[in-house]
């Protein structure tokens, strides 16, 4: 049986990614609590990748110190992504994970030490008809939100998805959850969005 929190994270992230291609559309606005309009006015437009991680973690019931969300204890500008991956942390972080370390719903960070660091939600992995390994991620800040099918390059000391090194990851198992997980229809209704059919986790990767 798939854990209810992982299912919620995977299915909500995937649903946002399939509906949120327009960075100023209602799904992106809901995910960012409206901050996306400000991000897009910057030159160049800023990323909202960390908002997706905070959004799905809050929906799953996480209320710990890493949460940076207005609906929690307020928003702290400039530390959206770093709350998950940059010490000091209130949870364990896996440095240089292997593909086998990742479970659907875990958070990953590309290019940790450079200004272009990027966070995403790992949704699962599989193989193509040709037998090549691939992973599926939900990414925000592209701009917009989208699903990405990523070629996998697993080296002895590094994992690369779509050509980017996965510097570190945070397992959902490392988090302490203080509230019950929402459902995707419940989250959509709470944000005034259409309550549409959701693709089950089993059919995503």
Q: What residue ranges do the domains of the chain occupy?
A: 4-203
Identify which of 128, 138, 103 has the alpha carbon closest to the alpha carbon of residue 31: 138
pLDDT in tens, 8-63: 999 999 999 999 999 999 999 999 999 999 988 887 778 889 999 999 999 999 99
pLDDT in tens, 134-153: 999 999 998 899 999 999 99
Which two three-digit tokens encode residue 145? 């939100």
The span from the CA of 22 to the CA of 146, in Å, is 10
* pLDDT band with cut points at 50, 70 and 90 for residue 165: very high
Contact (CB, 8 A) for 127 and 70: no
pLDDT at 4: 93
pLDDT at 91: 96
Identify which of 9, 14, 6, 20 has the alpha carbon closest to the alpha carbon of residue 198: 14
Write b or e for each residue in 109-137: b if 16 or more Cβ atoms lie within 10 A of its Cβ, otherwise e: bbebeeeebbbbbbbbbeeeeeeeebbbb
For range 153-167, the mean pLDDT: 95
| Cα-to-chain-centroid distance, residue 170 | 11
pLDDT at 45: 78
Give percent above pLDDT 70 in the chain: 99
User: Global pTM?
Assistant: 0.96
The kind and range of the H/E element at 48 are none
Q: Is the pLDDT of residue 117 over 80?
A: yes
Give percent above pLDDT 90 in the chain: 82
pLDDT at 47: 80
* pLDDT band with cut points at 50, 70 and 90 for residue 2: low
Q: Is the pLDDT of residue 199 over 90?
A: no
Alpha helices in the chain (DSSP H): 4-19, 26-31, 36-41, 49-59, 82-85, 184-190
Q: Tokens 């193509």: give the residue.
A: 128
The beta strand positions in 106-181, using DSSP E, are 107-110, 118-127, 133-140, 145-154, 159-161, 164-170
* pLDDT band with cut points at 50, 70 and 90 for residue 1: very low
For range 99-109, the mean pLDDT: 97
């Amino acid at each position: 049986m798939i854990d209810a929190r992982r299912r919620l994270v995977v299915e909500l992230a995937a649903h946002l990614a399939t509906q949120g291609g327009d960075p100023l559309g209602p799904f992106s606005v809901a995910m960012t609590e409206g901050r996306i309009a400000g991000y897009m006015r910057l030159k160049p437009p800023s990323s909202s990748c960390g908002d997706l991680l905070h959004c799905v973690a809050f929906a799953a019931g996480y209320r710990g110190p890493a949460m940076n969300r207005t609906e929690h204890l307020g928003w702290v500008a400039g530390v959206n992504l770093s709350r998950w991956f940059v010490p000091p942390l209130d949870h364990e972080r896996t440095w240089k994970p292997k593909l086998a370390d990742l479970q659907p719903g875990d958070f990953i960070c590309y290019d940790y030490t450079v200004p272009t660091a990027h966070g995403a939600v790992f949704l699962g992995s599989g193989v193509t008809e040709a037998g090549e390994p691939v992973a599926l991620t939900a990414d925000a800040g592209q701009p917009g939100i989208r699903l990405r099918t990523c070629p996998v390059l697993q080296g002895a000391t590094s994992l690369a998805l779509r050509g980017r090194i996965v510097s570190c990851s945070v397992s959902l198992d490392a988090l302490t959850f203080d509230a019950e997980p929402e459902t995707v229809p419940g989250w959509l209704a709470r944000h005034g969005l259409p309550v549409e059919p959701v693709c089950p986790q089993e059919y995503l990767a």
